[in-house]
Structure 1
Amino acid sequence: MKHKILIGSIISTLLAFILYTSNMRRVENAQLKIVGPTTSKVKKSKKKVKEPKIKKVKEPRVNSIEYSNHVKAKSGSNKQLVKMIKKVMGLDDSYQVAVQDLNNSSHYAVVSNTAKAHDAKDVMKLFLLIALYEQEQKGKIGSKTAIKIKKADKAKGDGMFQVNMAYGVAYLREAMLKNNKTASNALIRKIGIKNIESVAKIMGADQTTIAKRFTGDAYGKTTANDLAKTMIGLYQGRVLNRQYASKVLSALAKSKERIKMVKGINGGVYATGDDDFATAIVQGKGNYCIAVWSSNNKNFNKLAKNVNTWFDKKHK
């Protein structure tokens, strides 16, 4: 009986061991599956949302950091003149305008939306002409003075002057007034930049600078106010006495036909200018000076005519 129990016990143990071993093998061979979180998908709407339109603010045209609609008038400027100037010149372009009654210092208007000096071309010959006559007045240059043209003076394409040949001052002056660059360069060299700029400063043109040579698109920098001060200085006999001031004005009277700003203006007109600048002294019912610079010269003549009408009415 005991043997039967022992044998049964051994068989049971053996079966249990076999079952245990089988289970262990199944666990070892099993692959571990890691189930990650399901990525959630945002359902896109097929209907596109219309973005609101951004209204563009129209900026005024600018000149450097100065806005063309920021128009300023100098303190004491005649209100009627200021109003008229603003109306003619508008807000689309940069500009400087200076007007002065030559018989009444309190009648003036200085209106602008840019205060800095701008590139100038042919109008710069005004300062050169005054400096030339100032040298003659001092006796440093005379009618017999001759200036030899140097290679550095010669403008490209100029067939009027020859290098190493000497020309009289009067001949060079007339050629300079007709915008000959070689003649201008020879006179600048003879007079000297320092002397020309010194004369400009005495005239009141403290923002004006002259190029060493007249070449390219700019012969220097100036402002409308500097031009007005210079013309007023001529009229008042500053720097030049009456004799030599009259010579400058006479030269400007001859060249007025080339200046669009003063076309149609009656009376004694003494003017000079270029595509960007123009200045004139007008002697009629009223004597006055006008000077203007603008990024667009389309309104120059209209401005000059309106100013002329204003002075005519004032002096009836």
Structure 2
Amino acid sequence: MKHKVLIGAIITTLVAFLLYTTNLKRVDNAKLKVVGPTTSNVNKKKKAKEPKVKTLKEPKVNSIEYTNHVKAKSGSNKKLVKIIKKTMGIDDSYQVAVQDLTNSSRYAVVANTQKAHDAKKAMKLFLLIALYEQEQNGKINSRTAIKIKKSDKAKGDKMFQVNMAYGIAYLREGMLKGNKTASNALLRKVGVNNVDSVAKRMGATQTSIAKNFNGDSYGKTTANDLTKTMVGLYQGRVLNRQHASRVLSTIASSRPLPSMVNGISGGVYAIGDDDFATAIVQGNGHAYSVSVWGGNNKNFNKLGKQVNNWFSKRK
């Protein structure tokens, strides 16, 4: 009995030893895996994107217009340029264009703004030329009558009635006195495209007329375009001498005259207002055209007199 117990104890011990040895090898061969801390999704915030900074292009210096950036066109008469700059100053925007009608090389174009500006009465010059071109081509005459349409009628106008026909001369007189209904009827008769075409053929490349004269602007132009147009009339461009003379006679009789030519003696053919003015001046052996646009008209009259004095000494 004792032998059986002893043998069982030995067997038990041997099995225990084998199990211990096997577990020991398993531990020695096992790979240690380090598990880092789990990042919580609750506290994890997405990195905010930084806003893109727009790169602004610096404007070209030549494209910016300042009152003190006064420029004269190449070839401009230096003495005339000096007179214009001194008279107009640098406090306000302006354009001045002067052309000797007896000497094409004697001129001055001085400005601190090159773009076309809104105009009122001065724009009627282009409409007048277009009207007389129609007459020259036999499309209208002194007996032509135009019926006023509802679209022509300006608010508050009592001079002209809708569905009534009026003669060209009467409408033209009304237009020069500032009547918008008359201006609209004449513009409709001639056509906006024809007026723009006349302007371009006169050399007024920056000029465009409005569709009607009901607004604050009747179109846009420049002082240089106005002078080119007056020179064109004087030289018989677009219109023959007879019809060009009629245009000049028409504007010479319109009142009031622009302040630019007040006090100037001789033959003065002018049209304009406090914003734009253009004129042909003849007398004492000289003939020239002068046009001006300005943000302030305080120096218009002084300019007209100074330019006239300069030409009077050119005898």
Same-fold call, TM > 0.5?
Answer: yes
Partner of 1:28 in structure 2? none
Q: In angstroms, what is the RMSD of aligned CA positions? A: 1.0
How do 1:97-136 residues align onto structure 2 when only pairs under 5 Å count?
Answer: 97-136=96-135
Secondary structure at the aligned position of 2:313 is classed as: helix
Partner of 2:314 in structure 1? 314
2-side partners of 1:291 and 1:124: how far apart? 13
Cα displacement (A) at 1:234: 0.3
Task: Kindly indicate whether residue 214 of structure 2 is the aligned counterpart of residue 220 of structure 1.
Answer: no
2-side partners of 1:312 and 1:152: how far apart? 48
Partner of 2:200 in structure 1? 201
Cα displacement (A) at 1:87: 0.3
- The answer to whether the Cα contact below 8 Å between 1:123 and 1:272 also exists between their aligned partners in 2 is yes
5+ residue gaps, structure 2, are 1-62
2-side partners of 1:203 and 1:289: how far apart? 14
Task: Kindly indicate whether residue 263 of structure 2 is the aligned counterpart of residue 287 of structure 1.
Answer: no
2-side partners of 1:170 and 1:305: how far apart? 33
2-side partners of 1:314 and 1:257: how far apart? 29
Partner of 1:300 in structure 2? 300
Partner of 2:8 in structure 1? none
- The answer to whether the Cα contact below 8 Å between 1:253 and 1:269 also exists between their aligned partners in 2 is yes
Secondary structure at the aligned position of 2:205 is classed as: coil
How do 1:134-283 residues align onto structure 2 when only pairs under 5 Å count?
Answer: 134-255=133-254, 257-283=256-282
Cα displacement (A) at 1:216: 2.2
Q: Could you tell me the TM-score, scaled by structure 2's length?
A: 0.79
Secondary structure at the aligned position of 1:217 is classed as: coil
> What do the CA deviations read for 1:63-95 (whole angstroms, capped 9, x no partner)?
x93101001000000000001100000000000
2-side partners of 1:300 and 1:294: how far apart? 8
> What do the CA deviations read for 1:238-275 (whole angstroms, capped 9, x no partner)?
01111101110101111264311111101000000022
> What do the CA deviations read for 1:282-305 (whole angstroms, capped 9, x no partner)?
001210000000000010000000
Partner of 2:71 in structure 1? 72
> What do the CA deviations read for 1:208-232 (whole angstroms, capped 9, x no partner)?
0000110121000000000000000
Secondary structure at the aligned position of 1:105 is classed as: coil
2-side partners of 1:74 and 1:141: how far apart? 40
Partner of 2:47 in structure 1? none
1-side partners of 2:193 and 2:245: how far apart? 24
Secondary structure at the aligned position of 2:108 is classed as: strand
2-side partners of 1:160 and 1:258: how far apart? 23
Question: Quick one: which amino acid aligns to residue 114 of structure 1?
Answer: T
1-side partners of 2:64 and 2:74: how far apart? 22
Q: Could you tell me the TM-score, scaled by structure 1's length?
A: 0.78
2-side partners of 1:231 and 1:221: how far apart? 16
Identity of aligned residues (%): 76
- The answer to whether the Cα contact below 8 Å between 2:260 and 2:301 also exists between their aligned partners in 1 is yes
1-side partners of 2:136 and 2:88: how far apart? 40
- The answer to whether the Cα contact below 8 Å between 1:257 and 1:263 also exists between their aligned partners in 2 is no
Question: Quick one: which amino acid aligns to residue 266 of structure 1?
Answer: S
5+ residue gaps, structure 1, are 1-63
- The answer to whether the Cα contact below 8 Å between 1:256 and 1:271 also exists between their aligned partners in 2 is no
Cα displacement (A) at 1:179: 1.4
- The answer to whether the Cα contact below 8 Å between 2:102 and 2:287 also exists between their aligned partners in 1 is yes
- The answer to whether the Cα contact below 8 Å between 2:259 and 2:274 also exists between their aligned partners in 1 is no
- The answer to whether the Cα contact below 8 Å between 2:132 and 2:243 also exists between their aligned partners in 1 is yes
Secondary structure at the aligned position of 1:278 is classed as: strand
- Number of aligned positions between the proteins: 252
2-side partners of 1:113 and 1:248: how far apart? 31
Secondary structure at the aligned position of 2:298 is classed as: helix
Question: Quick one: which amino acid aligns to residue 294 of structure 2?
Answer: S
Task: Kindly indicate whether residue 78 of structure 2 is the aligned counterpart of residue 82 of structure 1.
Answer: no
- The answer to whether the Cα contact below 8 Å between 2:259 and 2:273 also exists between their aligned partners in 1 is no
Secondary structure at the aligned position of 1:110 is classed as: strand
2-side partners of 1:254 and 1:184: how far apart? 17
